[in-house]
Structure 1
Amino acid sequence: MTYIQSHLAGQVWFSLGDSITERGWYQPIVTEILGLREFVNYGIGGTCIAQKDKDDSSAMCLRYKEMGNNSDIITIWGGVNDFGYDFGSHGGIEIGDSKEEKTPLTFIGAMHLLLAGVTKQYPLSRIGFIITTPLSIKRGMNEKNLKGYYLSDYCNVCREVCERYSIPYLDLLKNSGFNEGNIDIMTSNSSGTVSDGLHPSKTGMAKIAPKIANFMLSI
């Protein structure tokens, strides 16, 4: 393990996300690198940033309110289930028309609600957003979902809304080093036995965890 000088040593980290976060494969590595006191995992598999429907209470734009109150640093990693090619929302969340709309039922609106809400609830915490890693071609990397959007369209919204709120982001879609040449190694199912083209494997997380640690130092 490579350690770096960390001004975050001894601090508490909240990680909000979907199944990529829920697996808990990157947080222990980052915690050790940075010397954090603890991490709290708020990842729930299959969840989106937006509501899948009006009865969905699992959306990140809503459930951030249920997180604790002792965080020093917060990261949010989401969006792939909103794309939902054949997983998550199973067809996609509508992105929305207005860049300023604030409804939990569109991706733009949910991003606004999430970032504005987290900022207000945790005004003294360092907050950063993680744009998700690439998918395999078989999992829809270059395909439109049923709503007519590419994964990159959702990632563009993440960039735009983060910049609107001056929230730093780590762009793993463009900077993870994952591509079709290594996606079979860099992704796996939850048992780590088979590539699934979606979730970073333990090997993949070992590759990107130092990037996440350095990103967190910069927030």
Structure 2
Amino acid sequence: MKRLKCYILTIVALFSLAGYAQTDPLNGKRIAVIGDSYVKNHVDPMENTWHYKFARKHGMEYFNYGINGSSMAYTSPRWGTAMYIRYKEMPDNLDYVFVIGGHNDSSKLDSIGGLDVFKERVGILCQGLIERYPAAKIYFFTRWNCKDFQGSNAEKIVDAMIEVCGNYSIPVLDCARQGGIYAHSDAFRKLYFQRPEDNAHLNSKGHDRFLNVAESFILKH
């Protein structure tokens, strides 16, 4: 099994507003984000991602466990160990855990063994995170939508994540339907994605747009 390259960054707040660090309840908290290229950020700098910007804004210690091509439920010879296994390589004593995934599982349902196996493995991930980080706040984020989303494997994966996370009382943001990211739109992708033909990877402007949605969801919970 390939050793994971973990990007660890201590976020130093650049703001000097009087009392901000003392009043922000997230300041100094430890956050780890595990996922696929939505987390690694594909070919763009990781510092452009919304979750890095969120951590920086709030003065948090940030750990990035994103791997391009990674799946939640499928261990790939090329892309490495599935998230439901490799979450164990994250550090102890985390205050926040974000799980961002499902995009690559959508095209690998046959290799995974079907939707029921996917749900079972996401359940293993949920239970494992709760047991390892009982005091942490855990959040899941689904993939974006896509062209012909309705009835597709992408929709099935999104709905499966929502169902399983609900069984474990874990908040999950349905980014496909509530994220404000129109990955099915050619015009939208030209503005907010790393490449016009890309339907997965936001550019810096796209991450800024989604940050507002994600931050509202996180702080609400």
TM-score greater than 0.5 by the shorter chain: yes
Residue among 197, 200, 203 paired with 1:198:
200
Q: Report the AA paired with residue 125 of structure 2.
A: L
Alpha-carbon spacing, 1:119–1:176, altered in 2? closer, same or farther (3 Å): same
Q: CA deviation at 1:20?
A: 0.9
In structure 1, distance between residues paired with 2:24 and 2:102 = 29
Aligned to 1:166: 169
Work out whether residues 83 and 93 of structure 1, in 8 Å CA contact, stay in contact via their aligned partners in 2.
no
In structure 1, distance between residues paired with 2:188 and 2:150 = 19
> Which structure dedicates a bigger proportion of its chain to helix?
2
Q: Report the AA paired with residue 215 of structure 1.
A: F
Residue among 15, 26, 33 paired with 1:8:
26
Q: CA deviation at 1:214?
A: 2.4
Aligned to 1:213: 215
Residue among 69, 72, 82 paired with 2:105:
82
Q: Report the AA paired with residue 71 of structure 1.
A: L
SS in 2 for 1:200: coil
SS in 2 for 1:199: coil
Work out whether residues 134 and 198 of structure 1, in 8 Å CA contact, stay in contact via their aligned partners in 2.
no
Aligned to 1:103: none
2:102 counterpart of 1:96: no
SS in 2 for 1:182: helix
Q: Which moved more, 1:69-78 or 1:176-185?
A: 176-185
Q: Report the AA paired with residue 142 of structure 1.
A: F
Aligned to 2:144: 133
**Deviation per CA, 1:91-127, whole angstroms, max 9, x where unpaired?**
7644334xxxxxxxx2111111110111111111110
**Deviation per CA, 1:145-196, whole angstroms, max 9, x where unpaired?**
xxxx52011000010001100001112111222221413322225xxxx541
Residue among 188, 196, 215 paired with 2:194:
188
SS in 2 for 1:124: coil
Structure 2 gaps, min length 5: 1-13
What is the TM-score with the length of structure 2 in the denominator? Answer: 0.77
Q: Report the AA paired with residue 80 of structure 1.
A: H
Structure 1 gaps, min length 5: 98-105
Alpha-carbon spacing, 1:173–1:83, altered in 2? closer, same or farther (3 Å): same
Residue among 66, 73, 77 paired with 1:50:
73
Question: What is the identity percentage for the equivalent residue pairs of Structure 1 and Structure 2?
Answer: 25
SS in 1 for 2:115: coil
Within a 5 Å distance, the mapping from 1:107-146 to structure 2 comes to 107-135=118-146, 137=147, 141-142=148-149
Q: CA RMSD in A?
A: 2.8
Q: Report the AA paired with residue 56 of structure 2.
A: E
